[in-house]
Structure formats: C-alpha cells, structure tokens
Amino acid sequence: MLTTDLKLVLPSAHYRESFLAAYEECSSLEKNDWIYLGPDGNEELIYNRFDEYVAMFYEREHTAPSHFVRGRAYWALADNEIVGRIGLRFELNDFLSNYGGHIGYIVRPSARGNGVATAMLAQVLATPEAQRIGRMLLTCDEDNIASERVIRKNGGVYESMVYPVGRRLGKKRFWITLAGNP
C-alpha cells in the first residue's frame, strides 16, 4: 500500500464491510478507539445499526453529546479499503485541553508501519476546518514512539508531559501551528 494513494473520506455506510474487518483486526484495547464512541461505546451499534452509527458522525459536527465536542471524523482509504480513522475536534473541553488535543487517530493493524498516520494527519491539517483552528494541540502516550514521530513529522513541537489521574503513563503534549497562524 502506498500512502500517496491514501485519501480521506467522510464516514459512509458504503464502507461497512471494510470498517468491520478493520475493527476485527484491532486488539480488545483498541476496539473502542476504532469505533470512537467514548466510554459508552458498544459493538451492537456498528454490527446492527451501521447507518445510525454513520449518521452520528454528521450530527457531531453540529451538536455533540455531553462527553464529546463538535468535530469531524474521516476514514482513510487505500485501494478502497479503510486503513485508518482520524477525528478533528473543532473545540476542546477541559479533558481535551489537558490530555486529548484537537486530533485523534488510529491505524488498522494490518496497515501500520506504512506512513498511514503521517499521511492522514497531513491531510487533516490541510482542511479548511483545521486551518480555521490554526494552532492545534496533539497528545500521545509517553511510550508511543510511533505516534510521537507522526506528530513531529507534521510539525509538532513538544510542550510538556502531563500525568492523568489514574493512569500509569504520562501524556506528551505537542503544538502544531499551521501556516499563516501565530
């Protein structure tokens, strides 16, 4: 797979089978990150009501549930297969301001190590929505060297390490300032 062929698309029921196949590849610890439903996420929605699941992403662009903020989700395609998911948060709440940042992403296990995350992040940073935000916070677990590399390749500048309550790992905080923004 070449990341030059990678393109971001908005969620669509058209990609149901590919989405579910990618979900099945994820470890039990990654499954919730893949479906991006927060702490209350469950498989029933993606297996039995996929159209409703997709519609939820479009609703979140305008109105977010209490544990989310407004944002846009993208799915990354290569050869018409989903290879990753990336979300751009239009605003930050207290949790995201400290630990989560403006962007979250995950790559399908079989597509890792091919530059997918770097390409996804570069494409999201080029969107008009990201350009309007201008200065973006990105975070990664302190031991996630691959994610740190992705952030740095896209212009991330390290700011600090924070330690969420109840977690054994710290979160590294990075800022990316897009061209034309102070």
pLDDT band at residue 2 using 50, 70 and 90 as cut-offs: low
- Residue 82: the pLDDT is 97
Residue-wise pLDDT for 107-137, tens only, equals 999 999 999 999 999 999 999 999 999 999 9
CA distances from 89 to 97, 114, 125 (A): 11, 25, 12
Angle at 50 between CA 44 and CA 54, to 5 degrees: 120
Burial class of residue 121 (count of CB atoms within 10 Å of its CB; 0-12, 13-18, 19+)? buried
d(CA 62, CA 64): 7
Residue-wise pLDDT for 18-76, tens only, equals 999 999 999 988 988 899 877 666 788 899 999 999 999 999 999 988 888 999 999 99
Place of tokens 């799915």: 75
d(CA 66, CA 171): 23
Place of tokens 């995201």: 96
CATH of domain 3-177: 3.40.630.30
d(CA 176, CA 142): 18
pTM for this prediction: 0.93
- Residue 43: the pLDDT is 86
Conformation bin of residue 121: beta by default, left when phi > 0, alpha when psi is -120 to 50:
alpha
Residue 150 has pLDDT above 60, yes or no: yes
Residue-wise pLDDT for 82-106, tens only, equals 999 999 999 999 999 999 999 999 9
CB atoms within 10 A of CB 145: 10
d(CA 105, CA 49): 23
The percentage of residues in the chain with a pLDDT greater than 70, rounded to a whole number, is 95
